[in-house]
Amino acid sequence: MNMMDDMETKAMLSRSWNGTSSSVGGSSTNHQRRRRPAGKQPPRRQKSIRQDIGRAAAETYLVTHLSFTLLRCLGVGYRWMNRLFALACYAMLLMPGFLQVAYYYFFSSQVRRSVVYGDQPRNRLDLFLPTTSDGQKPVVVFVTGGAWIIGYKAWGSLLGRQLAERNIIVACIDYRNFPQGTISDMVNDVSEGISFVCNNIADYGGDPKRIYLMGQSAGAHISSCALLEQAIKESRGESISWSVSQFKAYFGLSGGYNLFNLVDHFHSRGLYRSIFLSIMEGQESFEQFSPEVRIKDPSIRDAISLLPPIILFHGTSDLSIPSDASKTFADALRGVGAKAELILYEGKTHTDLFLQDPLRGGKDDLFDHIVSVIHANDKEALANDAMAPPRKRLVPEILLRMAHHISPF
């Protein structure tokens, strides 16, 4: 792709996004108008079925628009026609589960959708609340993946639903994607979303002293950048609206943390170098947005000591982001004195851990590990976990196995 083609592509995508953000994301004026005063109890959900269906249609349009934006960005050659066909087959195989999760997302009274946290387009988050209201609940702030291009808060619905069943509140943060924003915009959006949760989650029954940060794929990269940047600001005595000390742990799922090691890999997978450089604001910004590299800088040694325990999860058969990305990050963290744990899942792909395994129901090692960390100091919660019924299967096993083999990720 030459420079002129790249400029034309970004211009075309920018026009597409401008139309989408006004109809779905809302304007900054609407954001300000809908902001809820701190300390006020959240209002009861009073939406008609017609409004719910209208919102579902609008968000379905956004998801479709995101998919075509990605295709136009990457180009439609033979490789991508094959990938598109594989993706369509993959989605159809998992459709029984997707429909059940979508119904929960759009119509459950336990889901607070599109809570405004900032003034930029897509500065919204979804809250997944437990059915019980006895006491303050632990909170997971979740940042979804999507190759920095098609990330969306609704991708966290399955995780939100299942953690809420274990009495854990989940906040899924939406953020600007490329070309609506570049990596610094994404990190700033996520940081502002985290700030909103830290300062307002008590109004929704959350415990501000028991918050956990989690990211998946590109979301793991963005959230780790936000966490490290905040630690650096805090160590320097700069003005901050949230503190890394508020987080009990960080969970990184199938993430990449060193852009220097990933640019060629992504190019070979179809996320072409010119696009990746545009997303990451040029190669000169790689160090700033590579936590694995940045933590080795002696000048931020004080910031490292502020980081919470970091737990990284990765499948050994992940083709989208190789498991070595988590291995080398864990090694680098330990090398500078941070608390880091690496858990590898043999034979698991990029989507197995986040989609197929949760849709399978029953026992899930990743889910059980996360819940055990969150409830580690709560004997009553651990006892309830031990008595919890097996999670419901959402997709037949034969379809899950076929999806595992056909997945383009």
Is the bond preceding residue 179 a cis peptide, omega within 30 degrees?
Answer: yes
CA dihedral 373, 312, 202, 176 (to 10 degrees): -160
Is 203 marked active-site? no
Q: Which amino acid is at 399?
A: L
CA distance to 24, 52, 113, 114, per residue, from 55 (Å): 9, 5, 10, 10
Among 350, 364, 375, 404, the one annotated catalytic:
350
Alpha carbon distance 104, 99 (integer Å): 9
Among 217, 254, 278, 407, the one annotated catalytic:
217
Alpha carbon distance 212, 206 (integer Å): 11
Is 375 marked active-site? no
Is 302 marked active-site? no
Residue 300 CB partners (closer than 8 Å, separation 6+): 231, 232, 235, 294
Q: Which of 322, 207, 330, 184 is nearest to 254 (CA)?
A: 322
Rg of the chain over CA atoms, in angstroms? 20
Return phi, psi of residue 311, to 5°: -120, 120
CB atoms within 10 A of CB 251: 25
DSSP one-letter string for 50-92: HHHHHHHHHHHHHHHHHHHHHHHHH--SHHHHHHHHHHHHHHH
Among 126, 189, 318, 357, the one annotated catalytic:
318
Query: Using an 8 Å Cβ cutoff, are 206 and 137 in contact?
Result: yes
Q: Cα(first)–Cα(last) distance of the chain, in Å?
A: 23
Q: Phi-psi bin for 26: left (phi > 0), alpha (psi -120 to 50), beta?
A: left
Residues with active-site annotation: 217, 318, 350
